[in-house]
């Protein structure tokens, strides 16, 4: 449960949850620098009136501007019954799966890694994604 950001979720016991800034919590195994095992970054910011789909389109367009020939699908979904969108495969330091949702004009960005099917940790990332998205609930944030 993250009282300040207004959400709760389940994550595997081997993961550590560490709040790395006022807006972001990272779930990782062993070390925050571990890039081999599945991990999750949850960032909560002001949505500035944008919808989840609009934010996802921005993520996708930015990725396509950097790598025009890359296949970067955008899929509509839900998170705790609220409209959400998933951008699968945008590049960065590594390939990610980014799920975005807006609740009470707060943008919830969930970034799962590694999302490259060729990487050893992909299966674990998929399991983490399913656990987190299946258990995620919005809650009233504490002020």
Please state which CATH class domain 7-138 belongs to. Answer: alpha beta
Segment 54-111, tens digit of pLDDT: 999 999 999 999 888 888 999 999 999 999 999 998 888 889 999 999 999 999 999 9
Q: Which helix (H) or strand (E) holds 54?
A: helix 52-66
| pTM for this model (two decimals) | 0.94
Which residue from 26, 24, 28, 38 is spatially nearest to 107, judged by alpha carbons?
A: 24
Domain ranges across the chain: 7-138
Grouping H, G, I as helix, E, B as strand and the rest as coil, residue 71 is coil
Measured from the Cβ of residue 23, the count of other Cβ atoms closer than 10 Å reads 15
């Amino acid at each position: 449960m993250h009282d300040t950001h207004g959400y709760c979720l389940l994550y595997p016991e081997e993961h550590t949850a560490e709040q790395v800034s006022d807006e972001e919590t990272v779930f990782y195994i062993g070390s925050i620098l571990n890039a081999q095992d599945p991990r999750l970054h949850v960032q909560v910011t002001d949505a500035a009136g944008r919808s989840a789909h609009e934010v996802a389109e921005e993520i996708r367009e930015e990725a396509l501007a950097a790598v025009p020939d890359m296949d970067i699908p955008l899929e509509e979904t839900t998170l705790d019954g609220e409209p959400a969108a998933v951008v699968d495969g945008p590049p960065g330091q590594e390939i990610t799966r980014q799920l975005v949702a807006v609740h009470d004009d707060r943008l919830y960005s969930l970034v799962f890694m590694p999302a490259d099917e060729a990487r050893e940790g992909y299966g674990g990332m998929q399991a983490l994604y399913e656990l987190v998205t299946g258990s995620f609930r919005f809650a009233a944030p504490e002020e």
